[in-house]
Amino acid sequence: MSNLPFDPLLFSIATPLAVAFVIALGLPKRWSVRLAYVGFTAPALLALWTWCNYGAAPQQQGYAFLRTYSTGLDQLGIRLTLGLNGISLPLFVLAGLVGLAAGLYAIQSGAERLKIYLMLLLVMLAGLMGVFASVDIFYFYFFHELALIPSFIMVGVWGTRGPSENSYAAMKMTIYLTLGAMLSLLGLIALYVKSGASGAHSFNLITLREIIAAQPLEVTLQQNIFALLLFGFGILVSLWPLHTWAPLGYGAAPSSAAMLHAGVLKKFGLYGLVQIALPLLPAGIAHWGWLLGLLAVVGNVLVVGLITMAQRDLKQVVGYSSVMHMGYAFLGVATCSTLGVGGVVLLMVAHGLSVALLFLLATSIHQRTHTFDLQEMGGLAQKTPVLAGFFVAGTFASVGLPGFANFWGELAIFVAAWRFSPLFTVLAVAGVVISAIYGLRAAARVFFGPSTDALAKVTAVHPPTDLGWSERLPALILLGALFFVGFWPQSISRPLNATLAAVYAPANPAAK
Amino acid sequence: MTPVSLALTVLLAPLVSAAVIAVFLRRAGTLAAVVSVAAAAVIAAGAFTLAFGGARFEVATPWLQLGSFTLSLGFKFDDLAALMLVIVALIGLCVHVFSLGYMHDDEAKGRYFGGLSVFMFSMLGIVLADNLFMMFIFWELVGFSSWLLINHWHERLSASDAAKKAFVTNRVGDFGFLLGIILCYWLNGTVSLSELAHGHVSSRLIPLLLFCGAVGKSAQMPLQVWLPDAMEGPTPVSALIHAATMVAAGIYMLCRINVLMVPDALTVIMWVGTATALYAACCAIAQRDIKKVLAYSTLSQLGYMVAAFGLGSLAVEHDGHRAVIAAGVGAAMFHLATHAYFKALLFLGSGSVIHGCHHEQDIFRMGGLRTRMPLTFWTFTAGVAAIIGLPFLAGFFSKDAILYLAYANNRAVFAVLAFTAVLTALYMTRLWRITFFGEPRSEAADHAHEGGLTLTLPLVVLAVLAVVGGYAAHYPAGFGGVFSQIPEAEGSDHLAILATSLVVLLLGAGTALSFYRPAAQDALEARFPGLHRLLASKLWFDEIYGYYIAKVQQRFALLLNYLEQILLAGFVIRGLVAGVVTYVGVAARRLHVGRLNVYVYWFLFGVVALWLFAAGVF
């Protein structure tokens, strides 16, 4: 396997970039779209291929498919090192699948200036594949920025609200997320300098781990660096009360951008915490864990959960619910145990798929009702049963019904959290009731009961059609993956467990 | 086929059926019905082979491993599971067949039969589960299938609301259930039923938290509110899910975790069950809707079972030596079995009546159906006779077992349950008399007619079981492990119980026969309006919960939302980061010329410059 004729990871990053570049050269629209299919499909297929072959692939220092490329920055210790371990593999696959779904949905959306829109999406996708494939923390950060910037532009230009609201949302997102990214960059640089990795001239995570395992950082230093990473990443993942950019931004974002951002890009922060911060800075999480748990449970789960119940706008419901579910993920991080962190990874994948599905369907609903206002909807299921079926499935997935991937993540986190704090666990599990209330209420408002007068007027002018295949296919990809992991969690947990045992055991001997 | 693979087939057949229907047969309703009924037939055949073939086994396979935590899926097939499996399979098949006729003209038959299959899969999972996590998984799935089927006629707002209410109320119970499972896992290091039976930490909290799950699923007070509303679903669904099987899952679960019980927890369980039994029987007296009467009756009977379980064990003398039997389990499961037969029968009978009367559900607009629907009448009569405890019918034996256990263990509970039995005889006789006797009181009732074979055959099968089902206890071949635990009164106790149950029966039925006449108006409402209003109010549970949801919870949510919008978004964060934002803003405004490509060029320029710098070019 090591003598593969090609590097699937490099190709999964390079293909969408290359396609975007060719489109930018001025390819006609028809050919641009055809080429875009290749750009969106290739990473997904490559990701699935790595998923299937991960177990058989030879491992080097805990990573499969490990390759290093020089990019002219070797003097600074920066090399493009690509590889996958049990933590990054599921997220790499997630990025590929959501990227494909978002791309297919974008192509059929017929957006204005479609070529530029597709280009930006492709660049974003390349960045996302790169984030999870990078073993080098400089490139880890670089790829994040590569994915982040197109998302601002897409919100500002292709937003679904009015022009002024779009640019306000884009500006707010930019400020918050840049701030978050800057803080986490500071943390990463501090880690690099203080660990002595700068002496070894390496941003490579594997080297960093070895250095820190040989000589752990001082406790206060760990705590301070961890704080930078926690709050930097926290902003990016919408930790309460630093979350206000999220509902606003997602409310305005065009569907495919929202799918990629909420589904995948947002996981960057959690991934950074799980892959880098927790194993390298155990004293940091020991110090900040309580605050993190408190903010996550009281802020994200309970307060944001109740706020979600008060929303009247379908997209806001999905946006706020996504903030709420991040609370579970943060709680899992706070436990700093193999079980809790495993739950976080499962939940990241599951949430990424389900929130992307819901954003996609919310847009499809909007195309039929011409509104996001829940008060004006009702009874749509009579006209579009398939759309209703998909939305109900997505809702129940996000509510954490067994059979969907989300259940495993939430369950593992709840079980792990009891060891961390029974009180927090009780409060977090109460969130399960809250999400059932707003999830089912939204589904019922849109689809069930008699149709409202407002809707009747709209449907009289534009008779709604049911979900066509061009919309159904991307939804099916996401739903299929939710079911697959829901029925077969070992597909993720087996490699994950092996990596967690290796990465977390030396750093945190107390973790079980 | 080995027993394990047979059990797996039984479990997966309905899942396959549901998947096939969902993917291929959404519009082909008739074919979907055939597939679903075939799956039910496979289940029934497999269940009987397993239960009476004598195979008892335990298997498990790890499904999710993270660190030292392992969640396994497995089967624990003992006598208790075998009994439950037979009940579920039998009632399931009857209801599937009945649905063929009842839902014949429905537009969304595919979704309906798919939903039935999902339910069968979920319910069988609960029955076979060998550990609490697995039980929880299927527990949640059962809640989902209940939602799906109550919501079947989703264009009706009432159906959609009822479905939502059922799911959310169940989730409230599951909140405690899940916490109980997690606590059990950390205290005992395992959630496997068999390993817990071998040794566990004694705790009051675990059984009470687990009981929360049963309170939700078996609709005990104070979470009983969802079950009457759930009658918005199609009637066969009410028979299968909201009378015979799903709502009984709570009692089954309690019996599964019997080893974890401690006296204090049992006392709580006993009183919750007793209160529910009495409360629901009172409510049933003032209902006009045939399904609502049966729904409250179901609540009351479930309360009976929960109370029986809570009454706990009993010391008995057997062949001269003393032994302690798990009488609570025996009595509760026995009543669960007989109740499943006669309540499914009554619900399907009511379905037959509703079908015959063109969807009229008000009993005061029926009447005279005895001659128009004779088969339904006679089978319904068998059901009524069984539930009110007519001697030698199924309900008589199981109710006497519970009454005797109460008599032996707690006289106060005995008194309440005996009084509840009077009320049961009263409201069931009222229902029977007003529905079937007298003159037809509406056009629909006048034109009532018997349904086809698919409607009547299940009624006959269930009527036979309602009559002879009580003797199963004397035929312990398949289920000795459960039926040997049924308390049986001997000597003077036996006489006391027999006398009680006869007095109860005569008092209740006699009052009903003399008080109620088949008329268009409720005699109670006419003669004792105050009492009727009190009973019809159902003690304002719905109003109180409604007030809480609308005036407390929703207002609190709106307040938080208001704070979020005003304080957080506009003030606090802006104040905190004002400095940064101002500087960024000033710089950004210079560059903010509103053209997309300008940003892109700036970005590219920055990246290239940085790169060149870092690479040491300049």
- Which residues in chain A touch residue B557, judged by CB atoms under 8 angstroms apart? 306-307, 309-310
- Residue A509's pLDDT is 45
Distance CA B245, CA B226 (A): 16
Distance CA(B301)–CA(B304), nearest Å, equals: 5
Instruction: State what percent of residues in chain A have pLDDT above 90.
Output: 47
Q: How far is B331 from chain A (nearest CA, A)?
A: 32
- What is the average pLDDT across A91-106? 94
| A490 contacts in chain B (CB < 8 Å) | 63-65
Residue B415 touches chain A, beta carbons under 8 Å: no
Write the residue in A306, A444, A501 that is nearest to B560 by C-beta. Answer: A306
Assigned token pair, B89: 């399979």
Candidates B24, B25, B69: best to mutate against A (most CBs of A within 10 A) is B69
Which residues sit opposite B131 in a β-bridge? B192
Q: Chain A within 8 Å of B106 (Cβ-Cβ)?
A: no
* pTM of the model as a whole: 0.91
Answer yes or no: do A412 and B616 touch at CB < 8 A. Answer: no
Region for A144 from its dihedrals, namely left if φ exceeds 0, alpha if ψ lies in -120 to 50, beta otherwise: alpha
pLDDT at residue B25 in the model:
87
Within 8 A of B152 by CB-CB distance, chain A residues are none
How much is the ipTM here? 0.92
Q: Which of A311, A338, A440 sits opposite B167 (nearest CB)?
A: A440
Residues in chain A with CB shorter than 8 Å from the CB of B175 are: 429-430, 432-433
Cis preceding-peptide flag for A282 (omega within 30 of 0): no
Q: Does B177 touch chain A (CB under 8 A)?
A: no
Distance (Å, whole) CA A467 – CA A449: 20
**Count of other CB atoms within 10 angstroms of residue B197:** 14
Cβ neighbours of B71 in A, within 8 Å:
411
In sequence order, the β-bridge partners of residue A204 are: A136
DSSP assignment of B303-352 equals HHHHHHHHH--EEEEETTEEEEE-HHHHHHHHHHHHHHHHHHHHHHHHHH
CB atoms within 10 A of CB A406: 29
pLDDT of residue B591: 53
Of the pLDDT bands very low, low, confident and very high (cuts 50, 70, 90), residue A507 is: very low
Count CA atoms within 13 Å of residue B168 on its CB side: 20
Name which of A244, A344, A424, A447 to mutate to probe chain B: the one with the most chain B Cβ atoms within 10 A of its Cβ: A244
Q: How many CB contacts within 8 angstroms connect chain A with chain B?
A: 164
**Residue A441 and residue B164: Cβ atoms within 8 Å?**
yes
A376 contacts A369 by C-beta, under 8 angstroms = yes
Domain ranges of chain A: 8-507
CA angle B216, B212, A416 (to 5 degrees): 115
Ranges of residues in chain B with a pLDDT under 70 are 474-477, 567-604, 606-607, 610-618
Separation of alpha carbons B97 and B84, rounded Å: 20
pLDDT for the residue A510: 44
CA distance B14 to B97: 15
- What pLDDT does B595 receive? 55
CA A306 to chain B, closest CA, distance in angstroms equals 5
Q: What is the pLDDT of residue B518?
A: 83
pLDDT given for residue A195 in this prediction: 79
Residue B177: how many other CB atoms lie within 10 Å: 29
Residues of chain B contacting residue A394, judged by C-beta atoms under 8 Å apart: none
Distance CA A493, CA B1 (A): 32
* pLDDT over threshold 70, residue A228: yes
Report pLDDT for B493: 85
CA of B558, closest CA in chain A: separation in Å?
5
Q: What is the pLDDT of residue B384?
A: 93
Q: Chain B: residue nearest A380 by CA? A: B155
Which residues lie below 8 Å from residue B320, measured CB to CB, with a gap of 6+?
none
Chain A nearest C-alpha distance from B90 (Å): 26
Cα–Cα distance for residue pair A309/B507, rounded to 1 Å: 51
Task: Tell me the C-alpha distance between A454 and A186, whole Å.
Answer: 51
Residue from A429, A445, A467, A487 whose CB has the most chain B CBs within 10 Å, to mutate: A429
- How far is C-alpha A445 from the chain's CA centre? 27
CA pair distance A111, B479, nearest whole angstrom: 66
Residue A456: half-sphere exposure toward Cβ, Cα within 13 Å: 4
Q: Which one of A75, A171, A490 has the shortest CB-CB distance to B64?
A: A490
Is pLDDT of A32 > 90?
A: no
pLDDT of residue B269: 94
| Residue A208 pLDDT level (bands cut at 50, 70, 90) | confident
pLDDT at A191: 86
- Mark yes or no for CB contact B67/A309 under 8 Å: no
Check A448 against B182: CB less than 8 A apart. no
Is residue A126 pLDDT above 90, yes or no? yes
Residue B572 C-alpha, separation from nearest chain A C-alpha, in angstroms = 10
How far, in whole angstroms, is CA A398 from its chain's centroid? Answer: 14
Chain B residues close to A342, C-beta within 8 Å? 66-67
A511/chain B closest Cα distance in angstroms: 9
Is the pLDDT assigned to residue A52 strictly greater than 70? yes
Residues 6+ apart with CB under 8 A from B618: B612
Closest CA in chain B for residue A428 = B175
Select from A153, A306, A381 the Cβ nearest to the Cβ of B599.
A153
